[in-house]
């Protein structure tokens, strides 16, 4: 007979099982990716996998989720997602957006957690998604020709895959461009540094970054997305500005050239003719500036009417033609989103959802700025520091933010988890920076990054045994002061 398993043994076995599941957290996420990104009503319980993973983290003693400065605005965002369930005209219609956003939250916190074990593997994983996206994009994008000098190349890019779920007409090149610019600037940053210093270690990561910078950069150009190209130009400007005196000079020259071109050509330079009459036969992916103005005006009307709850995530495409009909755009053309990321978020989740999203971007930018400003060379591998990575991720997020002014990868879009993965890397390297300072000087970590930091109390002990918080920070300061006083006397 088998010996009976006592309560303590059962608890230990369950704890061991939880540890194994969390060790393969990314495998679990990949297994639930398809039913969560392409959900059916009967698959809705699969969404419980994400809170189950967080529960296992809590049982392990790590907290429900890693503590980051982004947690509070993310909590508000998810509360407003719940409110939008009441506002939507059909939960079944909004289900893909809801499920995709829950999956994205799982990806965000898994990325933050993974950085503790190996930031290099996290980067390889990130670029792996970029290469996979680029490969699928080449075969499944519904390519269109906007720039005459690319006509010959575009004719050689047939749409091979026509059976992607929810994208039977192919991936939209504008959306593809908006996602790829999350990878290119950080790949250029690390790839250029590798070419300069020629490190002898981790050549796999170096090869991946250089090939991603070249291959995905070319693919962004082929998408001919004017919003994505504008974002990429802004990212290049950020990289120049962070590159020393010569880089700042080139950045200033670029600003002058761009300002001159915009004053000379106006919005037509980016969006084609602003004449409404020339927009009457508009096709998908070639919205003029006048068309965008009309979409934005309808979005503002809708945001005014649904300011508290939003109209329901993903419902703008159905509600706008009925309540806020377009005059320039053809009635047969379905407008999937407001062509402005912040406006679209407000439509989906209301003003509080808009505020929370803006706060996520603002705090994310502050985290990366703090890492760059510390000028501490905490190495992630030979020749590379957290500061280098922070500059690259900053440029990538700025590129996507600029893209979001005139286009959008809407909240809850199926590939939108890639943006949250980039945000997770930003939060992860910020926490690493705080932890590296703690090792050098424990007295500086009480409020994060020295006397200038204001975010550090959020992340102290985020993946360790306990949360320090503001009260713990003050207690630590008092203890250090007492020790210092005793030593002096």
Map tokens 């400065």 to a residue: 69
> Which residues lie below 8 Å from residue 182, measured CB to CB, with a gap of 6+?
130, 396, 397, 399, 400, 418, 419, 422
Map tokens 């030593």 to a residue: 487
CA 64 remoteness from chain centre: 21
Tell me the C-alpha distance between 354 and 197, whole Å.
Answer: 43
Evaluated on CA atoms 45, 46, 51, 56, the torsion sign reads positive
Tell me the C-alpha distance between 422 and 115, whole Å.
Answer: 12
Tell me the C-alpha distance between 453 and 474, whole Å.
Answer: 15
Tell me the C-alpha distance between 102 and 100, whole Å.
Answer: 5
Q: Global pTM?
A: 0.83
Token pair listed for 35: 């039913």
Cβ proximity of 111 and 105 under 8 Å: no
Map tokens 């808009």 to a residue: 354
Burial classification of residue 276, based on how many CB atoms lie within 10 Å of its CB (0-12 exposed, 13-18 middle, 19 or more buried): middle
Residue 380's SS3 state is strand
Helix axes 173-180, 386-406, angle to 10 degrees: 160
Tell me the C-alpha distance between 213 and 156, whole Å.
Answer: 22
Cβ proximity of 130 and 183 under 8 Å: yes
Longest dimension (CA), the chain: 88
**Over its length of 489 residues, how does the chain's per-residue pLDDT go in tens digits?**
455 566 666 566 666 777 788 888 889 999 999 999 999 889 989 999 999 999 888 877 777 888 899 999 999 999 999 998 888 999 999 999 999 999 999 999 999 987 645 777 888 889 999 999 999 888 888 877 776 667 677 767 776 666 677 666 778 889 999 999 999 999 999 888 877 776 666 677 788 888 999 999 999 998 888 899 999 999 998 888 887 777 777 777 777 777 776 666 655 555 554 444 444 333 334 567 788 889 999 999 999 999 999 999 999 999 999 999 988 887 778 888 899 999 999 999 999 999 999 999 999 999 999 888 875 555 665 567 788 889 999 999 999 999 999 899 999 999 999 999 999 999 988 988 887 766 655 444 433 343 334 454 444 444 443 333 334 444 444 454 555 545 545
Residue 453 has phi, psi (to 5 degrees) of -75, 145
Residue 2 DSSP label: P
> Which residues lie below 8 Å from residue 309, measured CB to CB, with a gap of 6+?
83, 84, 86, 87, 350
């Amino acid at each position: 007979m088998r010996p009976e398993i006592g309560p303590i043994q059962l608890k230990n076995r369950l704890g061991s099982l939880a540890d194994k599941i969390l060790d393969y957290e990314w495998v679990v996420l990949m297994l639930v990716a398809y039913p969560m990104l392409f959900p059916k009503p009967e698959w809705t319980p699969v969404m419980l996998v994400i809170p189950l993973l967080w529960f296992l983290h809590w049982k392990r003693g790590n907290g429900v989720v890693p503590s980051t400065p982004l947690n509070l605005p993310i909590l508000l965002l998810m509360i407003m997602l719940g409110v939008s369930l009441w506002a939507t005209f059909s939960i079944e219609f909004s289900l893909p957006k809801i499920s995709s956003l829950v999956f994205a939250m799982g990806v965000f916190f898994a990325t933050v957690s993974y950085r503790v074990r190996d930031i290099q593997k996290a980067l390889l994983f990130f670029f792996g998604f970029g290469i996979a996206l680029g490969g699928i994009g080449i075969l499944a994008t519904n390519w269109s020709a906007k720039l005459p000098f690319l006509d010959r190349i575009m004719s050689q890019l047939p749409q091979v895959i026509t059976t992607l779920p929810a994208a039977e007409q192919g991936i939209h090149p504008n959306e593809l461009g908006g996602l790829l610019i999350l990878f290119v600037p950080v790949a250029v940053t690390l790839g250029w540094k590798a070419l300069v210093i020629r490190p002898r270690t981790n050549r796999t990561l170096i090869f991946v970054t250089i090939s991603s910078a070249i291959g995905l950069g070319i693919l962004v150009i082929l998408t001919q997305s004017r919003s994505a190209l504008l974002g990429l130009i802004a990212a290049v400007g950020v990289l120049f500005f962070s590159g020393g005196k010569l880089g700042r000079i080139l950045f200033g020259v670029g600003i002058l050239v761009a300002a001159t071109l915009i004053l000379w050509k106006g919005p037509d330079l980016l969006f084609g003719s602003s004449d409404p009459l020339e927009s009457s036969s508009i096709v998908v992916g070639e919205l003029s500036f006048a068309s965008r103005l009309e979409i934005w005006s309808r979005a503002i009307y809708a945001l005014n009417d649904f300011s508290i709850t939003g109209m329901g995530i993903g419902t703008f495409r159905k509600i706008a033609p009925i309540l806020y009909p377009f005059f320039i755009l053809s009635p047969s053309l379905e407008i999937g989103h407001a062509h402005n990321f912040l406006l679209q978020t407000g439509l989906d989740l209301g003003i509080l959802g808009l505020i929370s999203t803006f706060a996520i971007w603002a705090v994310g930018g502050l985290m990366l700025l703090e890492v760059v400003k510390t000028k501490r060379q905490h190495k992630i591998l030979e020749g590379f520091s957290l500061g280098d990575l922070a500059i690259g991720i900053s440029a990538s997020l700025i590129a996507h933010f600029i893209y979001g002014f005139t286009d959008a990868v809407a909240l809850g879009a199926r590939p939108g988890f890639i943006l949250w993965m980039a945000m997770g890397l930003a939060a992860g390297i910020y926490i690493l920076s705080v932890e590296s300072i703690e090792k050098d000087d424990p007295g500086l970590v009480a409020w994060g990054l020295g006397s200038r930091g204001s975010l550090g109390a959020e992340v102290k002990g985020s993946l360790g045994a306990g949360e320090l918080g503001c009260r713990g920070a003050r207690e630590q300061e008092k203890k250090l002061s007492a020790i210092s006083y005793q030593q002096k006397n």
